[in-house]
Each structure stands twice: as structure tokens, then as C-alpha cells.
Amino acid sequence: MNKKVYEAVIGGKSDYNINYIDFQNLICALGFEYKRHTGSHAMYYHRGISEFVNIQKDGSKAKAYQVEQLRRIIKKHDL
């Protein structure tokens, strides 16, 4: 897991500046599994967690509100 990206997501100060590929890699490193792609949205699920992560690109960056959603899931489930 890329600790720098993890800390950026947890810190919440750079939600608009998280690289999309790094964000995807972090999601997988946290144990989420890719399930499907619908249009521009990629869906990831985690066994034992009812929430899913739905991400899409904003240029080369992850969407800020999706970074925030992942942060809430990480904190809620101690990932």
C-alpha cells in the first residue's frame, strides 16, 4: 500500500489532488475487489462491508467527493 496516498486520503487536505490510478490502487490494497464498470464508473466491493466504492475520473484525478466517501469508510471500518 502506498502510505503517502493513504495519508493524503485520511488527512483530507488534498481531496482534489489524488491521482486516479493511485486512488484505485489504494482501494484494492484496502481489500476492495473490482466488480464492474458501468460507463465511466468503476465499482468496488469489500467482503464484510455493506458499503461499496464507486469511482470515476476527473481528468487524471479522483473525484473529491469520492475520496471523502472512501475516507469515511476507512474510518468507520478501521481499514
Rounded to two decimals, the pTM is 0.92
CATH of domain 3-76: 3.30.920
pLDDT at 17 (0 to 100): 95
pLDDT at 37 (0 to 100): 84
CB atoms under 10 Å from CB of 20, counted, come to: 18
Residue 24 carries which side chain, given as an amino acid letter? Q
- Give the span between the Cα atoms of 59 and 78, in whole angstroms: 30
pLDDT at 3 (0 to 100): 94
Query: 15, 8, 73, 17: which is closest to 46 by C-alpha?
Result: 73
Q: pLDDT by residue (tens digit) across 24-76?
A: 999 999 999 999 888 889 999 999 899 999 999 999 999 999 999 999 999 99
- Please answer whether residues 36 and 55 qualify as being in contact, where contact means their C-beta atoms are separated by less than 8 angstroms: no
pLDDT at 39 (0 to 100): 86
Domain boundaries, the chain: 3-76
- Give the span between the Cα atoms of 29 and 25, in whole angstroms: 6
